[in-house]
Structures are given as C-alpha cells and as structure tokens.
Amino acid sequence: MKRFLALTIALSLGAVAIPALAQGIDHSRYQRTTLNAQSAVLAAKAAELYAKLPHKFGDTLYESGVPHWVVSGVYTGAIRAMTPDENKFIETFFRARGVEQAARDFSQAMLFTADGRNYWLPVEAPIVPYFAKELKKGQAIDLYLIQPGGTRRSSGWEWLFLVEDFQAKAQPPPSR
C-alpha cells in the first residue's frame, strides 16, 4: 500500500525540480506560516485519506504539492543524527521525485522551538555549520522549509519538515 501511494504521488507530480544549494534559494517562493498550522493541515489531509483506506502505525503520507514555507523559530544549538525512520522517509520522498541523490544532503537534525513546542528538523548538510557560526543559542530566526509529509506513530502523526535555509532575525537593541 505504501509503495502504491508513493508511486501514485510520484506519477501525479512528475519530477519536481528541487533547486540545489549551489544555485541559491529563491526566498520569494516561500509562504509564511507556522509549524502548528501546517501540522494541522497535514493532520486534516491524513484524516480524510485514511478514513477511506485501511491504516496502521508506520504508514506514511507524502504531501503531493511539496509546499515551501517560512516559519519563525528559535535556534537552540542542539543537533543529532537523523533516525533510521527519518532517513528512510527522506530517501523515499526524493526517490519518488527522481532526485534520490538529494536525500544524501540530509543526515542531521537540529532542535528548534516554534509555536511553544520543540521540533527536531532535518537540515541540509551544507548549511549546518552556518547555524553555529552565525547564530547564538536562543536567537530568533526564520527557517525556510519544504513539507514532505509524515509517518503515523502510536501517539499520532509525526510530521517532517526539511530545512533548506535560514535567516537570522534582527536582534533588538540592548536595553539601557
């Protein structure tokens, strides 16, 4: 069933071109939202889809439109290796779009706070070192994300957002 769903999405989309970091990021194509809002949108889509299909834990949902979002967050400085489930999800996502090699750009996740919650988000490898170089822990930032979908867990859906870029927000002047 998973393969059928991924194949259906891949065929309906064709090969979606995801720009390489070397070509630069066009920030104008990202729409502002929140992670809470996008999680709610994905949850509604999943509820609608899985109301019609048998489902189980471990099922995946791939967002067919591959939306690009910019969200406000806070850099925590924490970093970890991605889990095997995250790696598998990302590999399948990019393979379905004909750009399997792009999955290799994601091997680490970073912890961000947004909307009053903590989120471990996979970050493109070339930009990982720039977080520590350009930001201070606790600094407000904008994260430029793509939204591939998520995996059903016993506690509910776990949505995955991939970080393609970031920009530091202006720091307020020190108070006197």
Query: Per-residue pLDDT tens for 110-126?
Result: 999 999 999 999 999 99
Task: Tell me what pLDDT residue 65 has.
Answer: 67
C-beta neighbour count of 29 within 10 angstroms: 11
How much is the pTM?
Answer: 0.75
Kindly give the pairing relationship between strand 31-32 and strand 68-81: parallel
Task: Tell me what pLDDT residue 152 has.
Answer: 74
Provide the mean pLDDT of the chain: 79
Tens-place pLDDT, residues 79-97 = 999 999 889 888 988 888 8
Whether the predicted pLDDT of 12 surpasses 50 = no
Kindly give the pairing relationship between strand 156-168 and strand 140-153: antiparallel
Whether the predicted pLDDT of 15 surpasses 50 = no
CA separation for the pair 164, 26 (Å, rounded): 11
Task: Tell me what pLDDT residue 123 has.
Answer: 97
Which residues does residue 69 pair with via DSSP β-bridges, in sequence order?
A: 31, 145
Mean pLDDT (whole number) for 30-39: 89
Task: Tell me what pLDDT residue 173 has.
Answer: 57
**Confidence band for 53, pLDDT divided at 50, 70 and 90:** low
Which residues does residue 129 pair with via DSSP β-bridges, in sequence order?
A: none
Domain 61-169 matching CATH 3.30.70.20: the answer reads: no
Mean pLDDT (whole number) for 128-148: 94
C-beta neighbour count of 48 within 10 angstroms: 9
Mean pLDDT (whole number) for 52-66: 61
